[in-house]
Amino acid sequence: MVPDYNENEGERETVSLKTANRSLAVVSPLLPDSTSGLRAWFYLVWLSWRRQARSQQMVWIAVGLLLFSVSLVAIFTARGAWSMRYWRWPYRQGPTYMQWADEVQMLASLPDASAEGQGVQAALAASVRGIILYSGFPIFSHWIVFLLFLSFLVPLFNLSFATEALGGERESNSLIWLLSRPLPRPAIYLAKFAALLPWTIGLTLGGFVLLCLVGGQSGLLALRLYWPSVLAATLAFSSLFYFMGATFRRPAVAAIVYAFFLEVIFGNMPGYLKRISIGFYARCMMFDAAGDFGVQPERPEIFLPVDGATALAVLLGLTVLLLGIGTVAFSRAQYHEVV
């Protein structure tokens, strides 16, 4: 008896569908047993976090610079560089500031015909001693926090991971595989951003903690006062560099140009033009937090700072705005170059 053609064709189609389903389950780890979109999104976050763990060249450079900076700060701390106690006046051969304050105090204790003169000398000696004893924190803030960490290390730490989140996918031609997953593009964009945040926050805040711990008492005070501004700046820089990774073909180059040229130029311009700089608002938060400890802009009439609450609102709003713009741009982009 000749088998019916339709029955054989149906069996072949059933076997083909089962084979295709098994192949799809092997090829696509983003398809769990459940078809829940939320589970797929969390799986993409976990998978992207694992991919970020593969150390890239920029990450190794950032870690090396961090270790070098920590070693340098430890050496300066051991030498007492965060205090004016060992500074000499008026030349290197002269007495230190603390020796000069001791001499002034000794002179104030000598008998003098004028009681007013003794009072002025005693007040002068006490004020000089107070400035010397509490000078470590402003010095540490200026040289380590503002110049080294905020202006150089924070942008570098963030662009090391943020530009690779999507930029690495484009350069390795694996973005087309990612876009073929059963998730909408906005969900993919937000999942990749959520996956890079533990790395950028961990490297930036972790690096800041290390620098402050080896900075002695001045560093511990800086850690207590400045960590919220470092966190807010990290979120803003991460969203900006992540947006560059989704937009530019060579995002690391664009991020470096922005961080070490445009950010520095705009951040040091007088007037209101510096307010387009992320570092400006982070500094304003730091000035607001440490104002009682003598940390203020050198020339407030030129720097024109804003209060800490406004600076925090701007940084968080900028993070959300960049994420929204990046989500729309990523959803509408064609990415023909990845095929």
Q: Is the pLDDT of residue 82 over 60?
A: yes
Q: Is the pLDDT of residue 26 over 50?
A: no
Q: Residue 190: inside a domain, yes or no?
A: yes
What is residue 236's predicted lDDT score, i.e. its pLDDT? 97
What is residue 16's predicted lDDT score, i.e. its pLDDT? 43
Query: Among the residues of 110-174, which ranges form H helices?
Result: 115-133, 136-140, 154-171
Q: What is the pLDDT of residues 255-283, one digit of tens each?
A: 999 988 888 888 778 778 888 899 999 99
Nearest to 240 by CA among 281, 293, 295: 281
My answer on whether 287 and 218 are in the same domain is yes
Name the DSSP class of 337: G
Last residue of a domain, one of 98, 132, 166: 132
My answer on whether 48 and 98 are in the same domain is no
- Residue 18 to residue 266: CA distance in whole angstroms: 60
Q: Is the pLDDT of residue 146 over 70?
A: yes
My answer on whether 98 and 194 are in the same domain is no
Share of the chain above pLDDT 70, in %: 72
My answer on whether 177 and 281 are in the same domain is yes
My answer on whether 183 and 325 are in the same domain is yes
Q: Residue 64: inside a domain, yes or no?
A: no
Q: Residue 306: inside a domain, yes or no?
A: yes
Last residue of a domain, one of 132, 166, 199: 132
Q: What is the pLDDT of residues 34-57, one digit of tens each?
A: 457 788 899 889 988 988 877 677
My answer on whether 185 and 109 are in the same domain is no
Number of Cβ within 10 Å of residue 55's Cβ equals 11
What is residue 79's predicted lDDT score, i.e. its pLDDT? 84
Orientation angle between helical segments 154-171 and 185-213, nearest 10 degrees: 150
pLDDT band at 135 (very low <50, low <70, confident <90, very high): confident
pLDDT band at 131 (very low <50, low <70, confident <90, very high): low
294: left (phi over 0), alpha (psi -120 to 50) or beta: left
What is residue 200's predicted lDDT score, i.e. its pLDDT? 95
My answer on whether 201 and 111 are in the same domain is no
Q: State CA 115 to chain mean position distance.
A: 56
Q: What is the pLDDT of residues 158-175, one digit of tens each?
A: 998 998 888 777 776 777
89 versus 181: the higher-pLDDT residue is: 181
What is residue 165's predicted lDDT score, i.e. its pLDDT? 86
My answer on whether 178 and 295 are in the same domain is yes
Q: Is the pLDDT of residue 284 over 70?
A: yes
Taking residues 223-233, report their average pLDDT.
97
My answer on whether 169 and 90 are in the same domain is no
- Residue 246 to residue 249: CA distance in whole angstroms: 8
- Report cis status (omega within 30 of 0) of the bond before 184: no
What is residue 105's predicted lDDT score, i.e. its pLDDT? 58
Rg of the chain over Cα atoms, rounded to whole angstroms, equals 29
My answer on whether 107 and 176 are in the same domain is no
Q: Residue 18: inside a domain, yes or no?
A: no
Q: What is the pLDDT of residues 304-316, one digit of tens each?
A: 899 999 999 999 9
Per the structure, the count of domains in the chain is: 2
My answer on whether 115 and 231 are in the same domain is no
pLDDT band at 201 (very low <50, low <70, confident <90, very high): very high
Q: Is the pLDDT of residue 285 over 90?
A: yes
What is residue 324's predicted lDDT score, i.e. its pLDDT? 96
My answer on whether 193 and 95 are in the same domain is no
Taking residues 66-80, report their average pLDDT.
92
What is residue 22's predicted lDDT score, i.e. its pLDDT? 44
Q: Residue 307: inside a domain, yes or no?
A: yes
The most confident of 1-5, 135-139, 174-178, 233-237, by mean pLDDT: 233-237
Going from the C-alpha of 66 to that of each of 60, 96, 147, 204, the distances in angstroms are 10, 32, 14, 10
Share of the chain above pLDDT 90, in %: 42
What is residue 132's predicted lDDT score, i.e. its pLDDT? 55
Taking residues 54-77, report their average pLDDT.
88
What are 305-311's contacts with CB under 8 Å, separation 24+? Answer: 306/275, 306/281, 308/284, 310/284, 311/229, 311/232, 311/281, 311/282, 311/284, 311/285
Domain span including residue 263: 34-56+136-338
